[in-house]
């Protein structure tokens, strides 16, 4: 089968080459991938930026999420059959969706939303699960709460705004002026052009921030959070608490604690809670997302569709940091 692989970290461009079709374990299904989506984690994985949390053996097939059709089912898979159209986020130790087939545990997938085509469905798993786990599982957003989601026109922002509105929140976001209509159509209540205005000049006393930017933007979020509020970052530094929960060895927890001393100080000063989220694959939560999509609560936004053979152009575009929604990789026809 065709797959986009790297043979070492920091390889400048992955190459599309022939590799064997994977074999399935008893709890796996084999999926013929129709479409996959690009996520910033693809470049971070390629460059080895996540080696503290994830280590891969080479060669590595890139890509984290997908939509496709089941072509084989393991002996211990009770809930899927050949021919089912599914979508999913591959478990982190077995990624590889920029490929014609993937062998994947049945617990990481769900039936594809019926009202989406494969390209649209591939736009959901990673960003949908991340947004749901941040806003629902960790923050438990309640009606009337004020939530700030920077980067409203990005892969995460687009889904997170819609979910936060579904949970009844008042949502503020940042983006460029050219995306105002889009984020407004998703339900954003307060839109700030980050080129023109600093969000700390406009927002205050927020219940929650879903930080998608990290760095100074994350630090600035402590200025707008109210006492007792929550900041969940998916782009900043993991703290020692995260390292402990993630099961990292003590010395790595210590390193994270050292690296996040400033965040801990800001957390104390603001009397708020800081957490880092590293999203988890979950077939069950993809079922919940499917329901919300089929009810019209959430819709994906596809920026462009690029064939697998042009994977490097897709990664380069993702690297620009200015996509509108998701870049989709078309792998093969259904």
Ligand X SMILES: NC(=O)c1ccc[n+]([C@@H]2O[C@H](COP(=O)([O-])OP(=O)(O)OC[C@H]3O[C@@H](n4cnc5c(N)ncnc54)[C@H](OP(=O)(O)O)[C@@H]3O)[C@@H](O)[C@H]2O)c1
Residues that bind ligand X (CB under 6 A): 39-41, 126-127, 130, 150-151, 153-157, 174-176, 179, 194, 212-213, 234-235, 277-279, 318, 321-324
Tell whether the torsion through CA atoms of 295, 297, 303 and 308 is positive or negative.
negative
Nearest residue (CB) to ligand X, 130 versus 285: 130
Torsion of CA 318, 188, 35, 28, to 10 degrees: 110
Nearest residue (CB) to ligand X, 71 versus 176: 176
The minimum distance between CB 173 and ligand X, in angstroms, equals 8
Residues 6 or more apart whose Cβ sits within 8 Å of residue 298? 124, 128, 159, 162, 163, 166, 289, 292
Nearest residue (CB) to ligand X, 127 versus 289: 127
The minimum distance between CB 172 and ligand X, in angstroms, equals 12
Nearest residue (CB) to ligand X, 233 versus 253: 233
Nearest residue (CB) to ligand X, 21 versus 43: 43
First to last CA, the chain: 15
The minimum distance between CB 279 and ligand X, in angstroms, equals 4
The minimum distance between CB 102 and ligand X, in angstroms, equals 19
The minimum distance between CB 265 and ligand X, in angstroms, equals 22
Enter the tokens of residue 40: 């910033």
The structure tokens 């460029």 sit at 176
The minimum distance between CB 39 and ligand X, in angstroms, equals 6
Nearest residue (CB) to ligand X, 157 versus 243: 157
Nearest residue (CB) to ligand X, 3 versus 123: 123
Under a CB-based contact definition with an 8 Å cutoff, are residues 1 and 18 in contact?
yes
Nearest residue (CB) to ligand X, 235 versus 311: 235
The minimum distance between CB 289 and ligand X, in angstroms, equals 14
CA distance 209 to 229: 8
Residue with smallest beta-carbon separation from ligand X: 154
Enter the tokens of residue 173: 């976001």
The structure tokens 């988890």 sit at 280
Tell whether the torsion through CA atoms of 55, 60, 66 and 67 is positive or negative.
negative
The minimum distance between CB 268 and ligand X, in angstroms, equals 23
* Residue 43 burial (10 A CB sphere; 0-12, 13-18, 19+): middle
The 206-211 sheet, strands edge to edge: 190-193, 170-175, 146-149, 206-211, 225-233, 273-276
Nearest residue (CB) to ligand X, 54 versus 69: 54
* Residue 20 burial (10 A CB sphere; 0-12, 13-18, 19+): exposed
If one counts every other C-beta atom within 10 angstroms of the C-beta of residue 178, the result is: 11
Residues 6 or more apart whose Cβ sits within 8 Å of residue 243? 252, 253, 256, 257
The minimum distance between CB 170 and ligand X, in angstroms, equals 19
């Amino acid at each position: 089968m065709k797959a986009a692989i790297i043979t070492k970290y920091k390889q400048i461009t992955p190459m599309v080459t022939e590799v064997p079709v994977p074999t399935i374990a008893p709890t796996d299904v084999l999926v013929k991938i129709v479409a996959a989506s690009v996520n910033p984690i693809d470049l971070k994985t390629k460059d080895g930026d996540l080696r503290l949390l994830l280590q891969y053996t080479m060669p590595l097939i890139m890509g984290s999420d997908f939509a496709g059709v089941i072509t084989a089912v393991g002996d211990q898979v009770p809930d899927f059959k050949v021919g089912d159209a599914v979508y999913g986020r591959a478990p982190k130790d077995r990624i590889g969706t920029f490929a014609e087939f993937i062998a994947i545990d049945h617990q990481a997938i769900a039936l594809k939303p019926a009202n989406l085509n494969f390209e649209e469905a591939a736009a959901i798993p990673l960003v949908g699960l991340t947004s749901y786990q941040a806003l629902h599982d960790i923050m438990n957003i309640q009606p009337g709460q004020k939530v700030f989601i920077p980067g409203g026109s990005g892969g995460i922002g687009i889904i997170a705004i819609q979910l936060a509105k579904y949970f009844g929140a008042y949502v503020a976001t940042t983006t460029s002026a050219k995306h105002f209509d889009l984020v407004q159509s998703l339900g954003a209540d307060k839109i700030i052009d980050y080129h023109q205005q600093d969000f700390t000049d406009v927002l205050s006393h927020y219940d929650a921030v879903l930080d998608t930017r990290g760095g100074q933007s994350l630090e600035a979020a402590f200025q707008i959070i109210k006492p007792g509020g929550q900041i969940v970052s998916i782009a900043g530094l993991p703290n020692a608490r995260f390292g402990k929960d993630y099961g990292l060895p003590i010395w790595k927890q210590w390193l994270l604690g050292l690296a996040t001393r400033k965040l801990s100080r800001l957390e104390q000063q603001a009397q708020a809670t800081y957490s880092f989220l590293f999203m988890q694959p979950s077939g069950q939560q993809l079922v919940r997302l499917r329901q919300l999509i089929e009810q019209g609560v959430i819709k994906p936004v596809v920026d462009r569709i690029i064939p697998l053979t042009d994977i490097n152009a897709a990664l380069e575009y993702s690297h620009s940091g200015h996509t509108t929604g998701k870049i989709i990789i078309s792998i093969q026809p259904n």
